[in-house]
Structure 1
Amino acid sequence: MQGVRLGVRRVSVLMPGIVVFAVAFGAAAAAKGLSLLETVLMSALVYAGVAQLVAMELWRPEWSWGAIAGLAVVTATVNARMVLQGASLQPWFAPYPKALNAAHLFLFTDASWLIGARYHGEGGRDLGVIIGAGITLWIVWVATTIPGYLLGALVADPRQYGIDLVMPIFFAAMIVPLWRGKRAAVPWVVAGLVALVTAKLVDGYAFIIVGSLAGALTGAFSDDPA
């Protein structure tokens, strides 16, 4: 329980950003015509903040198999980062039972990974830190989706209040603690520039995939083999 309490304390500093993020999703879901129940269930069962916002961008009143496949590809690409995040902490998770790992990985997010990575880097090994942070984030995310939905139902265009800026601002703030110098920032810069150019030249969400691949390849070729 000591680790759980530590996880709750450490994640508390991120709560303002998480709350605004959840409100943004709730507002976007209301604007797309989802019911309150559907919106809350998506937050509770899907629980994939960025992917949920991307899904709302692609949401349509009528669906075809092609549209569903396109949504699946884009959201899978967005969530692919979780594979690397989980792998980076695999040596820590491996000794624990698979059932426990499956449960806490459902609650695994960018914020809990950041907290866990820093805690593990400091020599900590109590899995309760990840669990405490994950449960707290899930509760807050689901709960604050509701006022976001109610806000979205009242506001015709949430973007006029800057709600669409929540996601890029949140992630820009999240990567600050991961700063490792100018050289390590090169792949991020390349990914951003390539994504911007692609967005200008190609309609849709190809910029996500192209930018991600460009950043990953740049990082692979510029990484120090030592």
Structure 2
Amino acid sequence: MTDGGAPSPSLPAERRRAVLRQGLSVGVATGAYGISIGALAVAAGLSLWQAMALSLLLFSGGSQFALVGVIAAGGSGAAAITTSTLLGIRNGLYGLQVSRILGAHGLRRLAAAQLTIDESTAVAVGQPEPAAGRLGFWVTGGAVFVLWNLMTFVGALIGDLLGDPRQYGLDAAAAAAFCALLWPRLRSRDGRAAAALAAVLALLVAPAAPAGIPVLVAAVAAVVVGLRPGRPAPATR
């Protein structure tokens, strides 16, 4: 649906296939790394079902790794939840943008909230057409959710047999997929300026700040670039 309530035009078949390919490829790259959270959760002392509940209910990779990392290091439950929550704040910010694209209500709105993650948001906002944005969001979010939870189960089952997941390059796969989504946004001067400033801010803050804070500080870069003097007003869509 468009903002005015009229049905949005359907996507051409070729364009639809392109969005499907993008969403599924990101889902596979990101979902595969779920095996590591399963293995790490069990190594930190969680049971298989606790590891599964973490992926099913929290479903935010950064927050999950932060929580498991604090527990593995001997931290308290309160410290683990606080650190995880700091990293999860960004998902709420994503929701402000995604809700305008989806226009979902009722149960679909609840499902959308659960699937609002880095990857589904990046695919959705990267599409020029509203219909493509909606399709990209649901395909990407659904693919990541299914594969992430499946691989969490596998990782929790095989545990110590897996070893360090990084030796298989799975940690790089998710990051590479996300960088590929962001790359087209760097064609504009504003995009390059925001990326450069965000990187500098994150590097300055990361050594001394707790997990989650560098991500939030880096987000300030977009605000700074958007409000800088002399910037032309955005064209009306």
TM normalised by structure 1 equals 0.74
Count of matched residue pairs: 217
CA offset at residue 134 of structure 1?
Answer: 2.7
Deviation at 1:22, TM superposition (A): 1.0
Change (3 A) 1:104 1:225: same
Residues of 1 paired with 2:130 and 2:34: CA distance? 32
Among 55, 77, 81, the alignment partner of 2:90 is 81
TM-aligned CA deviation for residue 75 of structure 1? 2.9
Structure 1 residue 167: Cα displacement: 5.5
Contact 1:30/1:152 (8 A) holds in 2? yes
Distance verdict in 2 for CA 1:88–1:206, change over 3 Å: closer
Equivalent residue, structure 2, for 1:218: 224
Post-superposition CA distance 1:160-208 (Å, at most 9, x none): 66655556444333322332434322232223223223333x2643752
Paired with 2:157 and 2:45, the residues of 1 have a C-alpha distance of 12
Counterpart check, 1:131 vs 2:138: yes
Contact 1:39–1:145 under 8 Å retained in 2: yes
RMSD over aligned CA atoms reads 3.4
C-alpha distance 10-49 of structure 1, shift in aligned 2 (>3 A): same
* Cα offset, 1:18, TM superposition: 1.4
- Note the C-alpha offset of 1:43: 0.8
Verify: 1:15 aligned to 2:15, yes or no: no
Give the secondary-structure state (helix, strand or coil) at the position aligned to 2:206: helix
Structure 2: distance between partners of 1:210 and 1:88: 16
Shift of 1:122: 2.0
- Higher RCO, Cα 8 Å, sep 6+: 1
Q: Distance in 2 between matches of 1:172 and 1:133?
A: 15
Corresponding residue to 1:188 among 170, 179, 195: 195
Q: Within 5 A, what are the aligned runs for 1:42-57?
A: 42-57=54-69
Instruction: Flag the 1:159–1:216 CA change in 2: closer, same or farther, 3 A.
Output: same
Q: Structure 1 unaligned segments of length 5 or more: list them.
A: none
TM-score by length of 2: 0.71
- Matching of residues 167-206 of structure 1 within 5 Å: 168-200=175-207, 202=208, 204-205=210-211
Confirm or deny: 8 A CA contact 1:92 1:125 kept in the other structure.
no
**Identical amino acids, percent of aligned pairs:** 22
Find the counterpart in structure 2 of residue 144 from structure 1. 151
Corresponding position of 2:111: 103
- Say if 2:86 and 2:211, in contact at 8 Å, map to a contact too: no
**In structure 1, how many angstroms separate the alpha carbons of the residues matched to 2:123 and 2:187?**
17
Encode CA deviations 1:140-168: one digit per residue, 9 max, x unaligned: 11101122334542255555666555564
What letter is aligned with 1:89? V
